[in-house]
Structure 1
Amino acid sequence: MTGSPGGVPAPPDRTDNGPAVSRAEFDALFASVRTWGRWVPADRGACNRITPDRVRRAAALVRTGTVIPMARPWDTVAGPDNSRPALHYMSDLGDVEAPEPATHKDFLAVDFHGKSVSHLDALAHVAYRGCLYDGGAARDLVGAAGARFGAVSALGALVTRGVLLDLPRVLGVDWLAPGRAVHAADLVAAERALDVTIEEGDAVLLRCGGLRRRRERGAWDPGAASAGLHVDAVPLLAERGIALLGGDGDSDVRPSPVDGVHSPVHALAIAAMGVPLLDNLDLEALSVAGGETGRYAFLLVVAPLNVPGGTGSPVTPVAVL
């Protein structure tokens, strides 16, 4: 089924994203998970937890050598989940007289912070109450030339242990309904069901099944309704000491359960905890592999573009089993 009659995108399933959280409650939660002043260099944030020892331990997880890329295709088509399509056009078709060999070249451009492109959010991407991670004023640190703190170039290549929490598989459904909130109890239940435990320095990838739903029912506006984490799940992730957080959405449940904060998990993870986010991943092949092998921990490699001052980067995370 590709959509509603007449080509109108299928409406989201109805579900509850509660409980509601007041702004005062959210500010108290922000303060409780904040790690400002903990690390040097500060603009690598929680990625400082990815030590050489953790890289070695992650590399030891490789058994079959199966490589699973997790990026969505470059999306040049406008739609309800892609209001700013990426650009791709040919700049050289090899038809200009020149010495052999002929060359073919193309041009790429993208406004990648959105709901379509697989990308990494660096620490400069989000400010809460005017402050970036570690407390600096965003207006002083981010300008027209880019970010002077928390840029994606400060992160470099990230290699660590990845953990897939495949909620649809645990719950026996094809996908979580848009708007379905994932709570701390859901994460703990997933750990038990999948026989995996989130550890310090891990990258946690949450599969809600939204990409499968899109392929079967058609696109909808995930900014209006999408499955994702409720803010009450974040203290558990903070306690476990994760280094990266990502998923097949943008980690936040939508509509937001927090009054006046449209992306509360972004604020908590990036601005409070210093945890970069991986948005809009394709976790379908990894889900299949997990179901076949029973393995939900793997070597994860993430190599963002080296963009000085950049607030993030398109990226192709790779799981190696």
Structure 2
Amino acid sequence: MFLSSTSFAADFPVQKVGNSPWGEHDEIGRLNMMTPESRTGIMTRTDASKVYDLAVEYFVGMPSWQAAGDPHYQFWMTHTPRGAVVDNVLNMGHEVNRHVSYSGSAFSMYSHTGTHIDMFSHFGLDGKIYNHFSADQYLGDKGWQRSGAETVPPIIARGVLLDLPRAKGVNMLPDNYRVTPNDIKTVLASQNIELQKGDVVLIRTGRMQNFDNASTYMNNSPGLGMDAAIYLAEEANAMIIGADNLSFEAFPSEVSGNYVPVHTYLLTQMGVPILELVDLESLAHDQIYEFAFVAASLKLRGADAAPMRPIAFPIRK
């Protein structure tokens, strides 16, 4: 049984741009929580005999965000073996082109397509992003000059899976379900695990089971509520928070005058990066709830997000 998730929590504090405790020039927020000691500590506990790939595949027709007019993922061949023979673009001649088969391809997409990390330049408040970098001063024709995707360091940290459907005895959270702090506490108890400062917390809604059907995957997605975001950021001190859905947060908004309050709270106020479209199905199937999370994103200079290929190494028992 699910309690109604449509009632809104009252009177959230007004969101303000956050100051980084790592100084006025800091661009990576809580990613500063990683240290040589923390990275070494988690990696020395891992079992590398099995690796879990947490990234989705990219394909034409995949789920992606178009509501604001952003482009779909597109893929096309720029060279094919037969085309090389016909066009002879490299002037190699008929016989060479028939002998050497040449294939080439290209793709284009919105930066928030597939498994990716949202950085602080994705959303802001009153013209400023996290740590008070203003669009007027730092956003040029070639992207953000502060907190762009190129600033994201390789991530090695303790990862924790919160498998909400399993804890609730369902296959998938219902449409538009809003995850609460009590949901998180319940799943932690059921998995016999505790969150630690600096964790990468990954929330499974079960939505990834519909990934091959874009409309079913995207419409009316369950997601994180404001109270749960506050709990994970302020009480659990998570370093990164991610989920298996595209919207990350639940809609409609709980905050008047802000259509993405969870995003602006985490990214702009607290300096917590967000991961979206993380494939958690294999971890959930094997009931792997604690692991080493290892990932790196493309260093797209000035971008507000970047594709990421995360992997997980289970903790030795």
Specify if TM > 0.5: yes
What is the rounded CA distance, in whole Å, between the counterparts of 1:80 and 1:141 in structure 2? 28
After superposition, the Cα gap between the structure-2 partners of 1:241 and 1:157, relative to the gap in structure 1 and judged at 3 Å, is same
Identify the residue that residue 208 of structure 2 maps to in structure 1.
211
Contact persistence 1:156–1:306 (CA under 8 A): no
**From 83, 86, 90, the counterpart of 2:73:** 86
Q: 1:108-127 maps to which residues of 2 (within 5 A)?
A: 108-113=107-112, 117-127=114-124
TM-score, normalisation: structure 1? 0.83
**Cα 1:79–1:243 shift into 2, 3 Å:** closer
Residue aligned with 2:283, SS? helix
Pairing 1:70-149 to 2, within 5 Å after superposition: 70-77=54-61, 84-94=71-81, 95=84, 96=88, 98=92, 101-113=100-112, 117-149=114-146
Instruction: Report the CA distance shift for 1:283/1:78 in structure 2 as closer, same or farther (over 3 A).
Output: closer
Name 2:19's counterpart in structure 1: 36
Bigger shift: 255-264 or 305-314? Answer: 255-264
Distance 1:86 1:64, change over 3 A: same
TM-score, normalization by structure 2: 0.84
Does 1:241 pair with 2:229? no
Cα distance in structure 2, aligned partners of 1:244 and 1:133: 15
Task: Identify the match of residue 50 of structure 2 among 66, 83, 88.
Answer: 66
CA distance in 2, matches of 1:172, 1:209: 12
Partners of 1:81 and 1:120 in 2: CA distance: 14
RMSD of aligned alpha carbons? 2.5
Q: Describe the shift of the 1:17–1:130 C-alpha distance in structure 2 as closer, same or farther (beyond 3 A).
A: farther
* 1:172-187 pair list within 5 angstroms: 172-187=169-184
Displacement of 1:266 after TM fit? 0.7
**CA 1:60 to 1:82, structure 2 compared with 1: closer, same or farther past 3 Å?**
farther
1:162-193 deviation per Cα after TM superposition (whole angstroms, max 9, x unaligned): 11001001111000012111111111111111
Deviation at 1:214, TM superposition (A): 5.3
Whole-angstrom distance in 2 between the partners of 1:71 and 1:78: 13
Assess if the C-alpha contact under 8 Å between 2:197 and 2:238 holds in 1: yes
CA drift at 1:151: 0.7
The partner residue of 2:12 within 17, 22, 26 is 26
Contact 1:211 1:282 in 2 (8 A): yes
Structure 1 unaligned residues grouped into runs of 5+: 1-13
Structure 2 CA distance for partners of 1:79 and 1:135, relative to 1, 3 Å: closer
Shift in alpha-carbon separation, 1:87–1:135, aligned structure 2, 3 A: same
Offset of 1:64 from its aligned partner?
4.7
Q: Residue type matched to 2:290 in 1? A: A
Q: Read off the aligned partner of 1:36 and give its amino acid letter.
A: N
In the alignment, which residue of structure 1 is the partner of 2:35? 51
Cα pair distance change 1:79/1:150, threshold 3 Å: closer
Moved more, 97-106 or 307-316: 97-106
Alignment: residue pair count: 295
Q: Max radius of gyration: which structure?
A: 2
CA contact (8 A) 2:153 2:296 kept: yes
Aligned partner of residue 75 in structure 2, secondary structure: strand
Match of 1:307 among 294, 300, 312: 300
Query: Are positions 1:319 and 2:312 aligned together?
Result: yes
